[in-house]
Amino acid sequence: MSSIEMVFVVALAAKLVAELVLDALNRSQVLKNSESLPAGLEGVMSEEKFQQANAYTLEKSRFGTLGLLLDAVLLLAVILSGFLPYVFGLWTEAMGNSAWSSALFLIVLMSALSIPGLPLEYWEQFKIEERYGFNRSTVKLWIMDKIKGTLVSLIIGFPLLWLLISIVGWLGTYWWVYGFGIMFGFQLVMMVLYPMLIIPIFNKLTPLEEGPLRTRLMAMSEKAGFHCSAIQVIDGSKRSAHSNAYFTGFGKFRRIVLYDTLIEQLGEEEIEAVLAHEIGHYKKGHIPKMIASSAVMMFLGFAIVGYLATNEAFFESFGFTEPDTGIAFLLFGLLGGTFTFWFSPLFNVLSRKHEYEADAFARDVVGDWQPLSRALRSLSEKNLSNLKPHPAYSGFHYSHPTLLEREAAMKAAG
């Protein structure tokens, strides 16, 4: 085993151990609080619902641990067995070593590597989610989603990868700078096109119908200084009973999307508070801030790929005879998560700061913190949320503050 392979194995082992420990800590926290609702959470859900939420959290955690172990074993096998250089050799012998064949190889290989995870996804959807009343999908719909997702990846991913690999020959040493520019520009375009072209492939988006709710939400939007031409409803209920709301696009293309399950589960005052929260993300400048941080990470990623693409020792350590830009992208994609995992708490701190600011904005626009609090409590109950996760687990896995943390922040500032 080469020294580079050893670094990868140690990094993967460290990440796996950390995740297993975090999962165990969180399960221990759930079990410790399982007898009754923790202080401050009385009234969020009934005792029966609380026990159901604990059971749901524990089952998801144990199942997630199984997934972590299987993913680690698969990744080790793929990286250390010589599988990648072997199949790449067979591919180039049959298809040649051009930019288009390299791009197609990456698409085909990544699709193939996702196949072992399909049984776990199926079990989670149709066993665990079904058992707790969340699954509303059918096997046919689930299969069609997988087929559509693969086709979308091929249609969008293939030309983009072909372009990124091609510019190496066109632009020389600093191709990765232009590659970053292409990918960043693509992301900005997709922020506009995704809700118009991609979402309709999987879901139906319809304008919120005329009526008291729409009138109320549009009036609040105007009061908040957010001139929104349309609020759209997505039919999330065709797959799951979980609910959500999100902001998409920017400039004149911005739009708020509400899950139909959210409208089913909340009253008008609570929905207004949720929408005010989403508008708060826009008014507080969170969208450009997240785009900027994403751009920085993407630039660093391209710089690393640009360096690896010419490093013969790196390729040789994984069994490849010569450098290849497509393979550099592949190895970076497969190995990068073992290192970026450790930065998760930093990104979550920024995300939680944004959530607090959006909560405060919603409180000020609505005039009271309680409507948003009621919405959060209702959603926590409907989604069987883990009401008090272990702090270390929350730090690595929660992009949003917990219910108690959000309520405390709104009360303190109110």
Contact (Cβ atoms closer than 8 angstroms) between residue 4 and residue 313: yes
Residue 129 is assigned to a ligand binding site? no
Mean pLDDT in the chain? 91
For residues 105-114, average pLDDT: 94
Bridge partners of residue 240, in order along the sequence:
135
Angstrom distance (rounded) from CA 192 to CA 194: 6
Angstrom distance (rounded) from CA 166 to CA 325: 9
pLDDT for the residue numbered 42: 80
Q: Confidence band (pLDDT; 50, 70, 90) for 18?
A: very high
Residue 357 is assigned to a ligand binding site? no
pLDDT of residue 167 exceeding 70: yes
Q: Between 230 and 333, name the one with better pLDDT.
A: 333
| Distance set, CA 130 to CA 46, 58, 60, 138 (Å) | 21, 15, 12, 11
Q: Confidence band (pLDDT; 50, 70, 90) for 251?
A: low
pLDDT for the residue numbered 4: 85
Quick: pLDDT tens for 110-157. Answer: 999 999 999 999 999 999 999 999 999 999 999 999 999 999 999 999
Angstrom distance (rounded) from CA 346 to CA 26: 20
Task: Tell me phi and psi for residue 81, to 5 degrees.
Answer: -85, -10
pLDDT for the residue numbered 2: 77
Q: Confidence band (pLDDT; 50, 70, 90) for 249?
A: low
For residues 209-215, average pLDDT: 90
Q: Confidence band (pLDDT; 50, 70, 90) for 341?
A: very high
pLDDT of residue 104 exceeding 90: yes
For residues 87-106, average pLDDT: 93
Q: Confidence band (pLDDT; 50, 70, 90) for 229?
A: low
Angle between helices 83-95 and 47-80 (to 10 degrees): 70
Angstrom distance (rounded) from CA 89 to CA 327: 12
Which residue numbers are catalytic?
A: 278, 359
Residue of 102, 406, 375 whose CA lies nearest to 259: 375
pLDDT for the residue numbered 252: 65
Q: How many CA atoms lie within 13 A of 112 on its CB side?
A: 10
Six-digit token string for 21? 């420990």
Contact (Cβ atoms closer than 8 angstroms) between residue 248 and residue 197: no
Q: Confidence band (pLDDT; 50, 70, 90) for 414?
A: low
The pTM assigned to this predicted structure is 0.91
pLDDT for the residue numbered 36: 79
Kindly tell me the sign of the dihedral angle through the C-alpha atoms of 102, 103, 106, 111. Answer: negative
Residue 281 is assigned to a ligand binding site? yes
Q: How many CA atoms lie within 13 A of 362 on its CB side?
A: 32
Quick: pLDDT tens for 44-57. Answer: 888 889 999 999 99
